[in-house]
Amino acid sequence: MVPTQRLPVSLTPLDAARAALLQRLGLVAPVELPLADALGCVASDMPPLKPLPPRDVAALDGWALRARDLAGASSYTPLPLAVSPPWVEAGEPMPEHCDCVVDAGSLEQAGAMVQVLAEAIPGQGVRRAGEDIAGTTPAIAIGRIVGPCDLSVARSAGLERLSVRRPRLRIVNVPSSSGQAVTAALISESARAAGAAVVCTEAIGRDAASIADALVTDACDLLVTIGGSGVGRTDATIAALDRRGEVSAHGIALQPGRTSAVGRIGETPVVALPGAPDQALGAWWMLALAALDRLSGRGPRAKQTWPLKRKIASYVGIAEIVLLERADETWLPLAAGDLSLGAIARADGWLVVPGGSEGFAVGAPVDAYILRD
């Protein structure tokens, strides 16, 4: 039986494939989500917050006083007070005319007599108005990933919902002969970690008609297929995409990820990932993730620059992904091109060697995308 699809004679350069995918791709509309659901999404239009605290409050439990009234007080020269000062708990508003809080050990009481045993400075033990959140400050900078600390600020400011951009991703898994969906789970979990709203489905078969039926783009900002993008006798994903829409590029000059493809169904961009985990992950990082970042308006992803502990050699003409491990503030290459599951699990970062480069020499500083904190 003749394969249903073939790779072109020449592979599409990675930059050209990515440009075709991102063409006409704009920001998705922001949505209002409860705080817990906004975690991991990209912040959108954020209203300025009111100052927090709204007025000076005690930062610790103690006695509220006026600093200038304590000049010269020490354990050797206690300063008597005419009246006992007010006691405040942490978080309580500061009494009028008081500008400092001293702890319980700084005052000595003997009957009706109260003596101060230490000086203080204005603001000591006090959290000033606007010290936690300055007035006119947005809850989260636009384009930033919403993290746990951001949610803490939002809760402190009394917010219950946040405006975020969360692209809707539909994943269509093409069933493998083994019946396992390891790669689909890997990509689905990676997408959720990237702030996408994910819906997973599976084609009922590996033939082009069954796959085409599963390529539904309703309520979807990006469609990703997994499996069936190669030239095997039962591979038909690219043929199915061609039936439903258009194939912009099949066969990308990327390793791993050579048999991946990009296309479009109507206005919805499509990325076809190979079925093997490492092949899919390479195309996910270089193609699908770039589309998600464009849709969500996410700022640049974090990189770490360190020198290489060992040289990286690469073939000219193919963009090659290299997995890296931290080693005493250097990057140690773990695998290049062909990535084992063990190397993927061990890696702390990754980089791509451009197609026009032969690699990097030992000691060369390289920028790597961070995989784990």
> Which CATH architecture is the domain 57-127 placed in?
Beta Complex (2.170)
3: pLDDT confidence band, cut at 50, 70 and 90?
low
| pLDDT for 315 | 84
- One fold for both 14-28+167-296 and 303-370? no
- Which residues, 6 or more positions from 149, have their beta carbon under 8 angstroms from its beta carbon? none
d(CA 91, CA 188): 43
SS (H, E, C) the chain: CCCCCCCCCCCECHHHHHHHHHCCCCCCCCEEEEHHHHCCCEECCCCECCCECCCCEECCCEEEECHHHHCCCCCCCCEEECCCCCEECCCCECCCCCCEEECHHHEEEECCEEEECCCCCCCCCEECCCCCECCCCECCCCCCECCHHHHHHHHHCCCCEEEEECCEEEEEECCCCCCCCHHHHHHHHHHHHCCCEEEEEECCCCCHHHHHHHCCCCCCCEEEEECCCCCCCCCCHHHHHHHHCEEEEECECEECCCCCEEEEECCEEEEEECCCHHHHHHHHHHHHHHHHHHHHCCCCCCEEEEEECCCEECCCCCEEEEEEEECCCCEEEEEECCCCHHHHHHCCEEEEECCCCCEECCCCEEEEEECCC
Strand 113-116 with 107-110, pairing: antiparallel
137: pLDDT confidence band, cut at 50, 70 and 90?
low
- Residue 2, pLDDT > 60, answer no
- The overall average pLDDT reported for the chain is 91
| pLDDT for 214 | 96
Give CA angle at 70 (65, 71), nearest 5°: 150
- Burial degree of 92 (CB within 10 A; 0-12, 13-18, 19+): middle
Q: Are 105 and 78 in contact (CB under 8 A)?
A: no
Q: Where are the domains of the chain?
A: 14-28+167-296, 35-51+135-164, 57-127, 303-370
Mean pLDDT, rounded, for 49-67? 91
Q: For 138-196, what is each residue's pLDDT tens digit?
A: 767 888 899 998 888 888 888 889 999 999 999 999 998 765 678 999 999 999 999 99
Q: For the beta carbon of residue 29, count every other beta carbon within 10 angstroms.
A: 9
68 phi/psi in degrees, rounded to 5: -65, -20
- Residue 104, pLDDT > 70, answer yes
Mean pLDDT, rounded, for 280-304? 94
Amino acid letter for position 350: W
124: pLDDT confidence band, cut at 50, 70 and 90?
very high
337: pLDDT confidence band, cut at 50, 70 and 90?
confident
Mean pLDDT, rounded, for 321-336? 95
d(CA 358, CA 312): 8
97: pLDDT confidence band, cut at 50, 70 and 90?
very high
The verdict on pTM exceeding 0.85 is no
Q: For 198-232, what is each residue's pLDDT tens digit?
A: 999 999 999 999 999 999 999 899 999 999 999 88
| pLDDT for 177 | 72
- Residue 373, pLDDT > 80, answer no
The CATH superfamily assigned to 303-370 is MoeA, C-terminal, domain IV (2.40.340.10)
d(CA 89, CA 132): 18
> Which CATH architecture is the domain 14-28+167-296 placed in?
3-Layer(aba) Sandwich (3.40)
- Residue 264, pLDDT > 80, answer yes
91: pLDDT confidence band, cut at 50, 70 and 90?
very high
